[in-house]
Each structure stands twice: as structure tokens, then as C-alpha cells.
Amino acid sequence: MSARELAGVLGEPPAPEGSWEREAVYVSAAALRRRLPAHVLADRVRAVPGVAGVEVRGDGLLRITVTVPGALLESMEPAGIPEPAWPDFPRTWDNPGFVVRYGHARACFVRRWARELGVPATGFRPELLDDPVDRRVLRLLAEIPGRMVSREPGWETYLVRLALAYHDAHERAPAVPVGDEAPGPVHTARVRLAEAVRGVLPGPERM
């Protein structure tokens, strides 16, 4: 399931809910805004490939569970988010500019090292992005479509949250082989995740 396909059926991007650590959930008020019977729109959403279930909540919102959260990367494009006017120094974790730019540089590092270490560039399997730290990054990436159409997207806070989640994933769920480990499909999937992050976080290729 692509996030774009789900948004197309709803008529607007749904909002991710919860942590996604165990279950990837979106909520949508599209039925209320479009003045459609919620059960009718729910049936349409259930027909979208990759949707595991749709619940009509008491408040009229749709609660949508997806099978493979990593599938959202299949329709992701560079977000083109403007870089906030953060100072370059100090280059410490107290400086949000450093946190975000270093996250971008790390994602660029992954691209270079994946190529040198022979990580396959094809064969993306989104279901392999199932580590809790990978799912946390996916959960944040899922916010982008809704923020893009919001009058108050709150990019500064969002970029820091995404960068911190990616730093955690970069360290705890490496995208490139470590030691004598052979490159495999999970590395291909994590390189794809790094590419998505690289297209969102502003910054230089090296720091």
C-alpha cells in the first residue's frame, strides 16, 4: 500500500497515530469533512491493498491499520522543506541545527558506504523495516503529507524529532554490514529508509 493511494481514496492525507512500534495506525476525519457516511468510506479504504483493517470510531473518525508501514517509502519524494535559520555552531547535540544537519550527513554516508560494501541497490522489501527504531522513523515520515498541506506545519520541531529518531536507528539498526556480516535484504531496506530521510533533512553531505 502506498500512502499516496490511501490519501487518494480518502481525499486527503491521513494522520499517523501512536508509536507504530507494534501496529501502524492512521486516523482520518475525511468522512466528516466530506460529509460521507463513515461506513461507506471505510469500505472503500478496506479495498486498498495493504490495509489490514478499518474501524469507524464513535467520533466518526476512521482508524486505519496498515500491514507493512515501510511501504510508504515506495511513493516518497524529496520533501523540499526549507532549512530553518539555525546557527552552524556549536556543533553539539544542544544545537538543533547540528542535530538535523548531522542526520542528513549520516544518511549521505549510508549511501556511499552501501555502494562500497556491496549492498544491493534493488530488491527493496519494506516488510523488513520491522525493528522498533526503524518503525519510529517511518512513523515520523508518515507525518509529512499532512504537514505539507497544513497552515502551520511546524517544520523546525518536526525536523529535530525526525533527526533524533534517525540517529537512533543509524546506531542501533545499521544500514550497512558490520564486521564480517554479509550484505543482505535488510540492509537494502534500511538504505532505502536512509534515502528517504536524506530527502527530508536539510544539510551538507559531509560534516
Taking all residues of the chain, what is their mean pLDDT, rounded to a whole number? 95
Is the per-residue pLDDT at 108 higher than 90? yes
Segment 119-129 mean pLDDT: 97
Q: What is the dihedral of CA 146, 38, 31, 144, to 10 degrees?
A: 10
What pLDDT, on a 0 to 100 scale, did the predictor assign at position 82? 86
At 37-82, the pLDDT tens digits run 999 999 999 999 999 999 999 999 999 999 999 999 998 888 889 8
Residue recorded with cell 490511501: 6
At residue 1, the pLDDT reads 60
Pairing of strands 24-28, 15-17: antiparallel
Per-residue pLDDT of 73-102, as tens digits, reads: 998 888 889 899 999 999 999 999 999 999
Per-residue pLDDT, 2: 67
State pTM to two decimals: 0.96
Non-local (6+) Cβ contacts of 103 within 8 A are: 162, 163, 164, 166, 167, 197, 201, 203
Average pLDDT rounded to a whole number, residues 122-128: 97
What is d(CA 43, CA 135) in angstroms, rounded to the nearest whole number?
Answer: 27
